[in-house]
Amino acid sequence: MRPSVRKSVYAGIAGLSLAGTVAGCAPSAGSTPAAGGSTPPAGGSAAATSPAAAGASTLAASGTEYKDGTYSADGTYVSPNGTETVGVQLTLAAGTVTDVQITQHPSNPNTRKFQGEFAGGIAAQVVGKNIDELNVSKVAGSSLTSGGFNKALEQIKSEAQ
């Protein structure tokens, strides 16, 4: 790599690092998100279920602002048994996932097994991470449920902006 290009790359990385540090230092209003939630509305749309969700917003690492709060959405995916649905509830603070809950909607025993395994292992993969860095591919042996989770995640991200 040429020296001038290398300096530009390093300067860009340093700038991103500084921006992330500054964004992480910003105080957030209503720093205690509500722990409760409700069932997502029909149609698979995301819904903010916390009064805090309408309040403070924080800047995530991507530069996108997300409101602190608890959000819910249903995501669908296709399994060998047909279309399946998984409910996702995420709590955000400063663009970071602080809690995740999965609502299982199994249509058969096999789906129940895989959604249960997914629900048991998802927190370890997403809690404490920036919402923009999430793209779940396989959790506890369940890869198809991840597709539904990722669809719900996109709806939640949209609603939280």
Give the separation between CA 1 and CA 4, rounded to whole angstroms: 8
> Is the pLDDT score of 119 beyond 80?
yes
Give whichever of 9-18, 38-47, 91-100 has the largest mean pLDDT: 91-100
Give the separation between CA 141 and CA 114, rounded to whole angstroms: 8
> Is the pLDDT score of 16 beyond 50?
no
CB–CB of 113/84 below 8 Å?
no
pLDDT, tens digit (0-9, with 9 covering 90-100), for 24-33: 433 333 333 3
Neighbours of 4 (CB within 10 A): 8
DSSP string of 53-95, one letter each residue: GGS-EEE-TTS-EEE-EEEEEEEEEEETTEEEEEEEEEEEETT
10 or 62, which is more confident:
62
- The answer to pTM > 0.85 is no
Provide the pLDDT confidence category of residue 62 given band limits of 50, 70 and 90: low
The pLDDT of residue 75 is 97
Neighbours of 53 (CB within 10 A): 23
Provide the pLDDT confidence category of residue 63 given band limits of 50, 70 and 90: low
CB–CB of 75/150 below 8 Å?
yes
